[in-house]
């Protein structure tokens, strides 16, 4: 059934307090839930409504009596109650061991864990499981002492003690009202890494990171990240931790990245554990940003939460924006005054890459939705790149339009109005407007209402006679499923004009007395607008959408020479990177269209110039010299032909590797990082560029490069270098690759997270010689590897996710074997874990963009999945929309 945003109605009853008691048992956990329910004064008359899913209900009473009238329909229980206040007590029995969905209460390595967002709490007890019901929770946990020495829940520990029969208990009280999706419990054999810190008002708080004992040597970075996040939120937004104790728990089986449960964040181990021997620079960066993200939710999400799930971007878009700003600040600080600007730009480029690779395709396919969707079948399918990443871009535009101070004033007002409430996206944008003497709210809200990636078409006209440059900007948004009319948006377009010498020109718009800054933000609000710059001596080169100032596709006719010019001179690093990406895209698509075409010399020259520009930060060079992602390129190719594109990319890698072999070898020689590993943007940038150099050299089969990769693999003292060298070898025809994979496996055979890298590398491997085994054959072998398990999401994402989403050249093999395998695996996964299955199912949603032959191969597989008896709502929504039902 489809749920509509327009159908939102407040409930007639709310819950004031919840008293939960868990008698934890792996197969039969007994949950007693006493809720004090209160009739809302302003609400229409109606019953108490409770949601229930996969629950065995042992008993239900109202004020100690059997309810007078109880109706049950499709997981919703309605109880008529007299008066304004009643206590409802529900006892349920659940089987955590049998819960393979990892939603609700489940087991992982013998411990008990919960995941309640979005609708997992109803799998634990019957409850008005909606975010607009906020209650105070008291939780008592009772479990076996041996198996579960640690008992945690939200808030403060108020009591603990021993029980007969080798059991014990702990009682927790959360002083803050919260929606049920923020409830959590953990009962397991864990140890804590602790730190005590003072908050800005001088309160001492206890921070804990709980992990299995063997992982204690890899939690320091997560703890540091937490402390940095606390400081940053105090300094940037004046937001302080409101609890005496803040806990993070790492668990190996987890559907998503992490979860912001009040005072008890639960994390996928992947985003907590890091030490030099097992985690790459990217892993360190991800730990820092996910720890920050979840911590920031304490204010943007928990103190002020969402009224209903359509408002998800209210907390997610805002919190992603906050974690992006935090990471940029942290990188800039570590890089020091000289490297700060570049470090920020590199972070911004990372964010843009993610948006283009994941969100643009989503916006162009059957799942396209506004950042605030109007309808859904399964809310878990809407934790999307659109809600998160495009949502963050929308907040960033507000920040750009209002300025840092105006934005901060808006945030202050937001908390002053809405602390402790469940609100909507309109509420947020309205206070932003109120704090900034109003702005065109209605037009800005279209970013929340319209799906699809807007196009901004730019054209410039130079008038030599009067020294003026006229820029015309026109916007349009393509139709998306169910949404054909699109209105003009407010689009901030940051622009610079570059002079013939490569330097930015001071900008002067017609009518202005004098020239000012070299970058400024134009506000595009109409379908088309004209901007006339005057006082110019020669024709400028425009640099548009600097810093990627809006989540749009910029269409601008630039010839090769102009792209090379901007690659060499654009003062905005994002645009310099983008110029390189556009040029590389042009070459890749030309090579894909013509198997006889070769890489143009002018491109190689422009590429070499960037590579050898020692004034440029290595991290930036690594970004600019990496070819655009395959997913993004397929999105730009019509019809999408993954095999042809793969062929083109192989030829480009080989040509750039061979022609520039001496330059790459020089990079490998000069940019080695000496000394002990530290997570630092400067070092990370050098490692990234050396790893990229090895990739090109290995792809081209340059003997000296392969020798360097082998030596580096053998001598590496940290995971970034070891894995970088291994990846280079695997992406080559070197006979050493098999032994290297084996050695890597043997060294890390007992480390689940490192083995995920090993699985992913093989699933994502390109075929560099015709005789090599197809990736699918390898993936099939790995499926039965003893370290693999379909029950562990990380393993599934590493092996199947990488094959389906990051290896299109192999996945879309012409014989259709990949597509049949996809259907087989989606069906197998769906029976255990619908959320994970739905994520894998999404790999084929944009199938109509492919060549007719591929479409013919994919369609029957989509239909096969759709016809599977007992298919989950999760997968049914994705595949149903893909085939157009
Ligand atoms: N709120 C979490 C975060 O963004 C994600 C939880 C997603 N859970 C889900 N079942 N889709 O940090
Ligand atoms: Zn989040």
Closest protein CA for atom 11 of ligand 1: 380
For residue 738, what are its two tokens? Answer: 């098999």
The answer, yes or no, to whether any atom of ligand 1 lies below 6 A from the CB of 260, is yes
The arrangement of strands across the sheet holding 553-556 comes to: 528-533, 468-476, 455-463, 553-556
The answer, yes or no, to whether any atom of ligand 1 lies below 6 A from the CB of 380, is yes
Give the count of beta carbons closer than 10 Å to the beta carbon of residue 41: 6
Contacts of 496 (CB under 8 A, 6+ apart): 504, 505, 507, 518, 519, 542, 543, 546, 570, 571, 572
pTM comes to 0.99
d(CA 114, CA 110): 13
Quick: pLDDT tens for 3-59: 999 999 999 999 999 999 999 999 999 999 999 999 998 877 899 999 999 999 999
3-state class of 298 per DSSP?
coil
- If you measure from the C-alpha of residue 383 to the centroid of ligand 1, how many angstroms do you get, rounded to a whole number? 7
Q: Which pLDDT does position 45 carry in this prediction?
A: 87
For residue 822, what are its two tokens? Answer: 């996809």
Contact yes or no for 725/712 (Cβ under 8 A): yes
Contacts of 727 (CB under 8 A, 6+ apart): 691, 695, 761
Quick: pLDDT tens for 206-234: 999 999 999 999 999 999 999 999 999 99
Q: What is the mean pLDDT of residues 757-777?
A: 95
Quick: pLDDT tens for 344-378: 999 999 999 999 999 999 999 999 999 999 999 99
pLDDT band of 285, cuts 50, 70, 90: very high
Quick: pLDDT tens for 241-260: 999 999 999 999 999 999 99
Q: Which pLDDT does position 64 carry in this prediction?
A: 97
pLDDT band of 267, cuts 50, 70, 90: very high
Token pair 């599934």 in the structure block, residue: 796
pLDDT band of 319, cuts 50, 70, 90: very high
Token pair 């393979």 in the structure block, residue: 100
What average pLDDT does the chain have? 98
Query: Is residue 772's pLDDT more than 90?
Result: no
The answer, yes or no, to whether any atom of ligand 1 lies below 6 A from the CB of 258, is yes
Closest protein CA for atom 8 of ligand 1: 117
Query: Is residue 432's pLDDT more than 80?
Result: yes
**DSSP H helices in 675-733:** 681-699, 703-715, 719-730
Which residues have a catalytic role annotated?
A: 294
Nearest ligand to the CA of 261 is 1
Dihedral sign for Cα 151, 153, 155, 158, please. negative
Percent of the chain with pLDDT over 70: 100
Quick: pLDDT tens for 481-511: 999 999 999 999 999 999 999 999 999 999 9
- If you measure from the C-alpha of residue 297 to the centroid of ligand 1, how many angstroms do you get, rounded to a whole number? 11
Q: Which pLDDT does position 112 carry in this prediction?
A: 99
Closest protein CA for atom 3 of ligand 1: 259
- If you measure from the C-alpha of residue 295 to the centroid of ligand 2, how many angstroms do you get, rounded to a whole number? 9
Quick: pLDDT tens for 143-197: 999 999 999 999 999 999 999 999 999 999 999 999 999 999 999 999 999 999 9
d(CA 792, CA 134): 32
Closest protein CA for atom 2 of ligand 1: 259
For residue 814, what are its two tokens? Answer: 């012409």
The answer, yes or no, to whether any atom of ligand 1 lies below 6 A from the CB of 118, is yes
Query: Is residue 737's pLDDT more than 80?
Result: yes
Q: What is the mean pLDDT of residues 729-740?
A: 97
Q: Which pLDDT does position 43 carry in this prediction?
A: 76
Q: What is the ipTM of this complex?
A: 0.98
For residue 359, what are its two tokens? Answer: 């969100």
d(CA 26, CA 55): 15
Query: Is residue 885's pLDDT more than 70?
Result: no
Atom of ligand 1 nearest to the CA of 379: 11
The answer, yes or no, to whether any atom of ligand 1 lies below 6 A from the CB of 294, is yes
Dihedral sign for Cα 232, 236, 237, 239, please. positive
Contact yes or no for 700/714 (Cβ under 8 A): no
Give the count of beta carbons closer than 10 Å to the beta carbon of residue 171: 18
Q: Beta partners for 139?
A: 20, 172
Give the count of beta carbons closer than 10 Å to the beta carbon of residue 482: 10
Nearest of 223, 239, 264 to residue 318 by alpha carbon: 239
The answer, yes or no, to whether any atom of ligand 1 lies below 6 A from the CB of 316, is yes
């Amino acid at each position: 059934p489809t749920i509509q945003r327009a159908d939102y109605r407040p409930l007639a009853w709310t819950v004031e307090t919840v008293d939960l008691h868990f008698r934890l048992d792996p197969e039969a956990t007994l949950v007693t839930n006493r809720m004090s329910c209160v009739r809302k004064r302003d609400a229409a008359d109606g019953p108490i409504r409770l949601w229930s899913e996969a629950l065995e209900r042992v008993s239900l009473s109202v004020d100690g009596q059997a309810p007078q009238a109880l109706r049950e329909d499709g997981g919703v229980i309605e109880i008529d109650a007299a008066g304004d206040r009643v206590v409802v007590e529900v006892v349920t029995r659940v089987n955590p061991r049998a819960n393979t969905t990892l939603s609700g209460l489940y087991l992982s390595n013998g411990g008990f864990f919960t995941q309640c967002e979005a609708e997992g709490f109803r799998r634990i007890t019957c409850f008005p499981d909606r975010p607009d019901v906020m209650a105070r929770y008291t939780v008592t946990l009772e479990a076996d002492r041996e198996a579960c020495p640690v008992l945690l829940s939200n808030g403060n520990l108020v009591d603990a003690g021993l029980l007969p029969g080798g059991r014990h208990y702990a009682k927790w009280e959360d002083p803050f009202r919260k929606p049920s999706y923020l409830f959590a419990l953990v009962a397991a054999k864990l140890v804590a890494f602790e730190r005590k810190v003072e908050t800005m008002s001088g309160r001492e708080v206890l921070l804990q990171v709980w992990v299995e004992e063997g992982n204690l040597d890899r939690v320091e970075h997560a703890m540091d990240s937490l402390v940095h996040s606390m400081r940053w939120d105090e300094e940037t937004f004046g937001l302080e931790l409101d609890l005496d104790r803040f806990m993070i728990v790492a668990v190996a089986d987890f559907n998503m990245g992490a979860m912001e449960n009040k005072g008890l964040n639960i994390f996928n181990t992947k985003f907590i554990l890091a030490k030099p021997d097992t985690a790459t620079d990217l892993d360190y960066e991800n730990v820092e940003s996910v720890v920050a993200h979840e911590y920031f939710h304490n204010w943007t999400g928990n103190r002020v939460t969402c009224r209903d799930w359509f408002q998800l971007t209210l907390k997610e878009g805002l919190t992603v924006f906050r974690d992006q700003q935090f990471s940029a600040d942290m990188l800039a600080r570590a890089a020091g005054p000289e490297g700060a600007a570049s470090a920020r730009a590199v972070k911004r480029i990372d964010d843009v890459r993610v948006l283009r690779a994941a969100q643009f395709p989503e916006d162009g396919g059957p799942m396209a939705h506004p950042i605030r969707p109007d309808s859904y079948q399964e809310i878990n399918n809407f934790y999307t790149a659109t809600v998160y990443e495009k949502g963050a871009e929308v907040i960033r535009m507000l920040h750009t339009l209002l300025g840092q101070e105006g934005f901060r004033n808006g945030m202050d007002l937001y908390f002053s109005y809405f602390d402790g409430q469940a609100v909507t996206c309109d509420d947020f944008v309205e206070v932003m407007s109120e704090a900034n003497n109003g702005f065109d709210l209605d037009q800005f809200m279209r970013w929340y209402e319209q799906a699809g990636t807007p196009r901004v078409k730019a054209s410039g006209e130079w008038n030599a006679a009067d020294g003026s440059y006229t820029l015309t900007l026109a916007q349009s948004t393509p139709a998306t499923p169910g949404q054909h009319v699109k209105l003009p948006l407010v689009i901030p377009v940051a622009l610079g004009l570059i002079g013939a010498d490569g330097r930015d020109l001071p900008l002067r718009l017609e009518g202005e007395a004098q020239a000012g800054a070299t970058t400024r933000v134009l506000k595009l609000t109409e379908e088309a607008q004209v901007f006339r710059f005057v006082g110019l001596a020669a024709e400028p080169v425009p640099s548009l959408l600097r810093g990627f100032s809006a989540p749009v596709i910029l269409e601008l006719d630039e010839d090769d020479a102009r792209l090379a010019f901007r690659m060499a001179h654009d003062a905005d690093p994002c645009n310099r990177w983008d110029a390189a990406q556009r040029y590389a895209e042009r070459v890749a698509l030309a090579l894909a269209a013509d198997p006889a075409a070769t890489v143009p010399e002018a491109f190689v020259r422009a590429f070499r110039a960037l590579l050898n520009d020692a004034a440029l930060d290595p991290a930036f060079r690594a970004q600019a010299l990496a070819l655009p992602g395959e997913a993004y390129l397929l999105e730009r190719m019509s019809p999408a032909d993954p095999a042809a594109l793969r062929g083109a990319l192989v030829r480009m890698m080989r040509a750039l590797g061979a022609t520039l072999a001496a330059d790459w070898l020089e990079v490998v020689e000069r940019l080695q990082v000496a000394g002990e590993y530290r997570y630092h943007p400067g070092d990370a940038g050098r490692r990234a560029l050396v790893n990229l150099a090895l990739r090109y050299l290995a792809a081209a089969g340059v003997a000296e490069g392969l020798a360097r990769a082998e030596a580096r693999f053998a001598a590496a003292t940290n995971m970034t270098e070891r894995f970088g060298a291994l990846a280079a070898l695997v992406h080559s025809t070197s006979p050493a690759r098999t032994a290297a994979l084996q050695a890597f496996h043997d060294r890390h055979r007992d480390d689940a997270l490192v083995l995920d890298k090993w699985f992913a590398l093989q699933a994502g491997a390109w075929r560099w010689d015709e005789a090599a085994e197809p990736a699918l054959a390898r993936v099939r072998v790995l499926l039965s590897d003893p370290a693999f398990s379909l029950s562990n999401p990380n393993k599934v994402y590493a092996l199947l996710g990488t094959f389906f989403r990051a290896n299109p050249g192999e996945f879309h093999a012409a014989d259709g074997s990949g597509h049949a395998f996809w259907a087989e695996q989606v069906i197998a996964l769906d029976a255990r874990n619908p959320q994970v299955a739905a994520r894998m199912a999404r790999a084929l949603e944009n199938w109509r963009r492919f060549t007719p032959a591929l479409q013919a191969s994919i369609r029957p597989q989509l239909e096969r999945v759709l016809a599977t008896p007992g298919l989950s709502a999760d997968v049914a929504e994705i595949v149903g929309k893909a085939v157009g039902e």
